[in-house]
Amino acid sequence: MKNFTYVDNSNVYLEGCRVSAVRKGFPGAKTIIDAMNSRVLDVAWQIDYGRLHEFACGDPTTIGGAKLWGSPPPGDSFWAMVERLGFKVTKYERNFANKEKKVDVAIAHQMTKDAYSGVVRRGLDEMTLVAGDSDYVPVVNDLVSGGFIVHVVFWGHAAKELREAATRFVSLDDHFDFLSRVVTT
């Protein structure tokens, strides 16, 4: 059995910043819903990508692939670091409105391509999607109904439809401290 992991970087990072804001009791972030409605983020929070890789991909001997998509932040050293930690990275520039528009479609396309080209073995291998928005529901529904094992790993406030579509949902909330990068000064 192999595990193929697909990470929506901006999605997992930004929502992690939101979870951190709630945990720290930021104004306007009493609950995750409050934080979402008030657009409150703890921008000082950082995810430990090595630990995310370890958590989402599992045993190194069973990793079939670990891919991460996102938009480049200032400085390319971030992406080099993520690649050193084991992810194959695909970057897309943000549009003029500073929005990511290609990532969700690119991940859904790659998952479908890997499944139906035989890269992922139906009923044997596992696909792990690290994302939480409902844009992924159609592809997850299609893959699961086609006999593929699709786990969704995300913060507890992932879209209900996505959690229900997955073969299994794993919340990152209980692993927040493990996944948080300790910044030393």
Q: Which helix (H) or strand (E) holds 168?
A: strand 168-171
> Does residue 3 or residue 183 have the better pLDDT?
3
Q: How does pLDDT run across 98-153, given as a tens digit for each residue?
A: 566 688 999 999 999 999 999 999 999 999 999 999 999 999 999 999 999 999 99
Domain count for the chain: 1
Which of 41-50, 157-166, 171-180 bottoms out in mean pLDDT, i.e. has the lowest?
41-50
In a domain, 154, yes or no: yes
pTM score, two decimals? 0.91
Residue 97 confidence (pLDDT): 59
Confidence grade of residue 70 (pLDDT, cut at 50, 70, 90): confident
Cα diameter, the chain: 50
By the 8 A CB rule, do 133 and 162 touch?
A: yes
State residue 80's pLDDT score: 79
What's the average model confidence in pLDDT over 2-26? 95
Range of the domain at 155: 3-179
Q: Does residue 184 lie within any of the structural domains?
A: no
Q: Identify the band that residue 158 occupies on the pLDDT scale cut at 50, 70 and 90.
A: very high
Closest CA to 29 of 43, 39, 15, 14: 39
Position 130 in a domain: yes
Strand locations in 48-158 (E):
63-70, 88-91, 126-130, 149-154
Residue 24 lies in a domain: yes
Q: How far is CA 87 from the centre of its chain?
A: 12
Q: What are the phi and psi torsion angles at 141 (to 5°)?
A: -55, -45
| CATH number of the structural domain spanning residue 96 | 3.40.50.1010
Gyration radius (Cα) of the chain, Å: 16
Q: Does the residue 94 lie in any domain?
A: yes
- Helix (H) or strand (E) segment spanning residue 83: helix 77-84
Q: Is residue 185, in this structure, part of any structural domain at all?
A: no
